Amino acid sequence: MADIAEGLIARAEAWLDQDPDPETRAELEALLAGAREGDADAERELHDRFDSRLDFGTAGLRGEIAAGPNRMNRVLVSQAAAGLAAFLTERAAEGETPSVVIGFDGRRNSRVFAEDSAAILAGAGVRAILLPRLLPTPVLAFAVRHLGTSAGVMVTASHNPPNDNGYKVYLGGDDHGSQIVSPTDREIADHILQVAAGAQVPLLPRGEFETADESLVDAYVSATAAVAVPPRAQPVAVYTAMHGVGWEVVRRVLAEAGFAEPAVVDEQIDPDPAFPTVAFPNPEEPGAMDLALARGREVGADLVIANDPDADRLAVAIPDGSTEAGYRLLTGNEIGQLLGWRQAELAAADAPGDRAADGTLACSIVSSPALGVIAEAYGLEFRETLTGFKWISRAPDLVFGYEEALGYLVNPGTVRDKDGISAAVAFLSIAAELAAEGRTVADRIDDLAERFGGFASGQVSLRFTDLSRIGEIMSRLRAEPPSHIGDVRVERIDDFTDGVGDLPPSDVLRIVLEDGSRVMVRPSGTEPKLKAYLDASSESGDAAERRATAAARVAALDAGMRALIG
């Protein structure tokens, strides 16, 4: 057997010696047996698992559950917990005991990853508090601030494929419960690597951890119900949890806020890590909302609302007789504009006397520019951030933040992360106020176009098996900048490599066109994709004409970008 294979097998055997999970041990033993017998596929699989390591970054950890350092498993999670404990202990003030609250959703291994983490953190001298049961990510984000802990950990892979899991880290104190950002991620990663190099997982000390009281969940429910205005009408709604953990908390929040209980998609309402009714548990994916829309037709719903499996995102569909399904899914930008307008109105209502409203509306750089127009109309500050709520949540004086990928933050005083539950309550409040006036969400969308302009958005998303192609395309766009996208002249290109304004450096290009349209180009942070985000607007004609003009411009941008980078 070649030396390289011998070294590979030795690394795998050393991993096997410290793996406490019988399932991942068994599949690694099978791979080792195949590699010893000369099975090329088994050897390639071992190389994939052991030649690299899941990177701990600003999104924490996320990957497929399997054995090896390049997968999610109990060894990797235990090393992460020990590294986090070392980081928190190092930065704690003299005499201070750091603390961590840990949550988990209904995915495979979420509970065991959370319990391993709690025991190892406690063994390292950190006060560890486990949430009482599987709960949505927003409850964990709330708990960091509510309990005043040094940090929080959420075990979830959000809307990733069924066999994935992940490890999200939040910081308390001066970070106010936001997710970690650079350079904190690298500091934690360095501690994790030190643990991996010098400690066997079975020998890591374990301690007794606490379990949070149910009063914490009660506090989240009350704080989130307070987002609503007491409804003057009851829109008919359908809700799906997408096989996730949202329903128990959503049900309580809606009841406390005064809303009638929605009809539910029975097949998707309880947590199920297999996600049996969807090919991909993401409300944005084609077909994922089919059962919910069918339920909507069955009950004549005014709204169909969905959370993703950990309930930090919100999807909404409204009746539309022109579609085969009878409903139209609102885009993330449309939902963000409606919620942002609501928050701007609330901020203006709270302003004393003739004073302008205080606060900031914020969105990611790839979200629609419409939020900036709304902020200006109400005298609010507007802030664009890099993608991800780790950045949006840090905008100063934040009253509302969103990103186009169905993430919304409507209650920054209590949660500093996207929260699909509070967003659902806020959206139901919009629908209830409209219903009391004999109007619909579609009418409000018309109002928005008439007051602020018609906005349209689109996305070109190209998947690559050869990741080097993504870098090559970005390099070509920088070296040979286009003069036109389709027939429209490029006015300027902003390169975020060294940062733009007060934004940190990022691999992003912003292409601004002569007609005011905009294209943002960046590699995906979580998938092997290159993405181009397309935005256009119009202020000519009535609401329908404005939207049609903007949509036509986006269609032209789509064709032009595909010709340029496809």
Segments making up each domain of the chain, as ranges: 1-51, 54-207, 213-452, 453-565
DSSP letters, 101-140, are EEEE-SSTTHHHHHHHHHHHHHHTT-EEEE-SS---HHHH
Tell me how many degrees the CA angle 289-294-298 measures, rounded to the nearest 5. Answer: 145
d(CA 427, CA 229): 11
Question: What pLDDT is recorded for position 15?
Answer: 96
Q: Where are the alpha helices (DSSP H) in 164-270?
A: 184-198, 214-225, 247-257
Give the tens place of pLDDT for each residue, 81-135.
Answer: 999 999 999 999 999 999 999 999 999 999 999 999 999 999 999 999 999 999 9
What count of other Cβ atoms lies within 10 Å of the Cβ of residue 40? 9
101 near 212, Cβ under 8 Å?
yes
CATH number of 54-207: 3.40.120.10
Separation in Å, CA 53 to CA 65, 103, 193, 207: 13, 24, 10, 27
Residue range 171-199: mean pLDDT, rounded: 95
Question: What pLDDT is recorded for position 528?
Answer: 83
Separation in Å, CA 302 to CA 233, 330, 428: 12, 13, 10
Question: What is the pTM for the complete model shown?
Answer: 0.95
Q: Has residue 190 got a pLDDT over 60?
A: yes
Peptide bond into 132 cis (omega under 30): no
315 near 306, Cβ under 8 Å?
yes
Instruction: List 103's β-bridge partners, or say none.
Output: 154
Q: Has residue 354 got a pLDDT over 70?
A: no
Q: Has residue 477 got a pLDDT over 90?
A: yes
- Quickly name the fold that domain 453-565 has: TATA-Binding Protein (3.30.310)
- The residue among 212, 219, 220 whose CA lies nearest residue 129 is 212
Known catalytic residue at 78:
no
Residue with tokens 């947590």: 271
Who contacts 458 (Cβ-Cβ below 8 Å, separation ≥6)? 533, 534, 554, 555, 557, 558
Separation in Å, CA 362 to CA 115, 343, 344, 504: 36, 11, 11, 16
Question: What pLDDT is recorded for position 4?
Answer: 57
Burial track 357-394 (b if 16+ CB lie within 10 A, e otherwise): bebbbbbbbbbbbbbbbbbeebebbbbbbbbbbbbbbb
Residues above pLDDT 70, as percent of the chain: 98
245 is written with which tokens? 């953990």
Separation in Å, CA 538 to CA 275, 387, 517, 549, 552: 41, 25, 10, 6, 10
Give the tens place of pLDDT for each residue, 213-245.
Answer: 999 999 999 999 999 999 999 999 999 999 999
198 near 97, Cβ under 8 Å?
no
Who contacts 353 (Cβ-Cβ below 8 Å, separation ≥6)? none
Average pLDDT for the chain: 95
Residues above pLDDT 90, as percent of the chain: 92
Give the tens place of pLDDT for each residue, 17-40.
Answer: 999 999 999 999 999 999 999 899
Q: Has residue 2 got a pLDDT over 60?
A: no
Strands (E), 426-558: 454-463, 484-485, 488-495, 509-513, 518-523, 529-538
d(CA 215, CA 523): 42
Question: What pLDDT is recorded for position 138?
Answer: 98
Give the tens place of pLDDT for each residue, 410-449.
Answer: 999 999 999 999 999 999 999 999 999 999 999 999 999 9
Separation in Å, CA 84 to CA 125, 170, 185, 189, 457: 12, 11, 10, 8, 40
Q: Has residue 7 got a pLDDT over 90?
A: no
Question: What pLDDT is recorded for position 57?
Answer: 87
Give the tens place of pLDDT for each residue, 252-298.
Answer: 999 999 999 999 999 999 999 999 999 999 999 999 999 999 999 99
Active-site residue among 99, 110, 117, 158? 158
- The residue among 42, 40, 62 whose CA lies nearest residue 50 is 42
425 near 441, Cβ under 8 Å?
no
560 is written with which tokens? 């032009």
- 54-207 with 453-565: one CATH topology? no
Question: What pLDDT is recorded for position 465?
Answer: 86
Residue with tokens 């840990």: 102
- The residue among 213, 241, 219, 212 whose CA lies nearest residue 100 is 212
Question: What pLDDT is recorded for position 409?
Answer: 98
What count of other Cβ atoms lies within 10 Å of the Cβ of residue 539? 14
Residue 409, SS3? strand
314, burial (CB in 10 Å: exposed 0-12, middle 13-18, buried 19+): buried
The values of phi and psi at residue 519, to 5°, are: -130, 130
247 is written with which tokens? 């329903």
36 is written with which tokens? 């010893």
Question: What pLDDT is recorded for position 1?
Answer: 46
228 is written with which tokens? 């609503």
Q: Has residue 353 got a pLDDT over 90?
A: no
Question: What pLDDT is recorded for position 3?
Answer: 52
State the CATH architecture for 213-452: 3-Layer(aba) Sandwich (3.40)
54 is written with which tokens? 């899941």
